[in-house]
Structure formats: structure tokens, C-alpha cells
Amino acid sequence: MMRALWTAGSGMTAQQFNVDVISNNLANVNTTAYKKDRAEFKDLLYQTIDRASVLDGQGKPVNLQVGYGSTPVATVKDFSKGNFERTDNPLDLAIDGEALFAVLGPKGDVVYTRDGSFKVSVSDQGTKLTTTDGYAVLDEMESEIFLDGVEDISSINVAENGAITYINTDGETEDLGQRIGLFKFSNRQGLENLGKNLYGRTDASGEPVIDEEEGSMSVVYQRFLESSNVRVVEEMVKLIVAQRAYEVNSKAIQSADEMLGQANNLKR
């Protein structure tokens, strides 16, 4: 019965973690380009009371084992595409494909995002393309994208491959000479969540590769933003299931406690 207490307790802890993950998904239902998480679990060690043994056709063909509950082992990011919402803002970009934008992070390192709600920042270095937090957007060579010479931001045009052009004061189309960087990873699940819609490269994710493979290259849509891929109804169903599982585990603890109480009172 003491085993039952610890086993059911591990189940309650696991479901509490599950609810935390679901709650974070629901909290980010309106976050641009947010990718929902899914908690994964595994069973814990088993106590082997009696092993299966068959000798000369006789013996036990099955084991006698009892487990010690479950534990969370991973949160898996679902990178399925969210809906595209038209904004008519020339600096809003959405990616149709597996690629990510590259930006210069707060520590000077290169980080990645699917959030294409870019802005224009004017500094001593010049006018450059940045994220909402002021992090510089990078081109395919991981260099900052400067918009010097662009008089009218609304004249900027971003092609499907990320190439940037604009209309000058003479009404002529000029090439900025830079292309917004689109990068792929061999294992996107290995990326580290950094917050602020940013992902960091890890050894598990592999090195970033410029997305330029014919036939599978990601496409950039200007004046669109990718919405969160969280489905509220789906998350609510998961929340109910997690709540019921938590309740059942609490009932198991209550039952084990009552059985221990009865055993303690046998001598009376």
C-alpha cells in the first residue's frame, strides 16, 4: 500500500506538469507564430517479484512485476503551420514551409524565429529591419539588413524567396542587394525555447542550413502574419483528460490511505 501512495503521487505530479504545458498553450493562443507543446511521459522502474522461467516445458511463462508510476520526459514542439492573417503591413512576413527567420539575439548570438512582425529601427548605424524587441533581422549571410535609401517604407517589396526591393524617389524599382535569411534545421525538435518567440540552436538541432533547395524551399508571404497553431477546443479536451487522470490518482491515494487505516486498527 505504501507503493500505491508513491505510485499515485507520481501520477498526480505528471498530470500537474501536463496541465502546466496545456495552460501555456492556451495562454499563447493569440501569440504570433507560437507553436504548441505536447508533454510526453514514460513509466518508471518496475519491481520484479517473480521472473518468468520455463524449463523442459514447465514453469511460469510470464513475469510478476509491479511499476512505480510515471514521469514526464519531454515536451515536444508541434511545428505545424498556423493560419495566415492578412495585415496589409509591408513589414509583416509569414513563412510557408519549414524555415525560420534569423535575428541577432540580445547576447550577440544568432537566434531564430517564426514571428515575422518586423519593424524599422533608426540608429547611429543606419535604418535597419528589426523584431518588435529591437533585435536585428539577418540576411542569408547572417548580416544585418539595412534599409538606407528607402524613403517610403510602404514601397518595400519582399519576394517569395526573401529578396528585398523598393521604389526610389524616381519611381524606379531598386534591389536592396540583400535577401531575408531563411534557415532550416535537420531536427527542429532539438531547438531550445528562449522566450520572446525565439529559438536557440543546440547540438541536438544541428547546424542551420540556408533554405534554397529546389522543390521544397519555403516561401515568404508579405503583408501576412502566421497565427498560433493552438486549437482551443483540442487543448480544453486535453485539460479535461488531465484533470480526470489527476482526480483518479488522488482517489487511489485516498483508497490506499483508508486501507492503511483499517490495517492499523486491526488490533483494536
- SS3 of residue 16 by DSSP: helix
The answer to whether 180 touches 101, Cβ cutoff 8 Å, is yes
Gap between the Cα atoms of 114 and 117, Å rounded:
9
Residues near 75 by beta carbon (within 8 Å), at least 6 away in sequence: 21, 37, 38, 39, 40
Closest CA to 245 of 7, 5, 15, 10: 15
**Domain ranges in the chain?**
2-79+230-264, 84-226
Q: What is the pLDDT of residue 215?
A: 63
Gap between the Cα atoms of 143 and 104, Å rounded:
9
pLDDT digits (tens), the chain, 268 positions: 678 888 999 999 999 999 999 999 999 999 999 999 999 999 988 888 778 787 766 777 788 888 888 999 999 999 999 999 999 999 999 999 999 999 999 888 999 999 999 999 988 888 899 999 999 999 999 999 998 888 888 889 999 999 999 988 888 888 888 899 999 999 999 999 999 999 999 999 999 999 877 667 899 999 999 999 999 999 999 999 999 999 999 999 888 888 888 887 876 5
Q: What is the pLDDT of residue 268?
A: 59
* 3-state secondary structure string across 23-81: HHHHHCCCCCCCCCEEEEEEECCEEEEECCEEECCEEECCCEEEECCEEEEEEEECCCC
Q: What is the pLDDT of residue 124?
A: 80
Q: What is the pLDDT of residue 148?
A: 83
Closest CA to 244 of 11, 83, 61, 79: 11
Sign of the CA dihedral running 181, 187, 192, 195: positive
Cell 539588413 belongs to 145
Q: What is the pLDDT of residue 57?
A: 67
Predicted TM-score of the model (pTM):
0.86
Gap between the Cα atoms of 104 and 46, Å rounded:
48
Q: What is the pLDDT of residue 250?
A: 93
> 46-81 burial, b if ≥16 CB within 10 A, otherwise e?
eeeeeeeeeeeeeeeeeeeeeeebbebeebebeeeb
Rg over CA atoms, the chain = 27
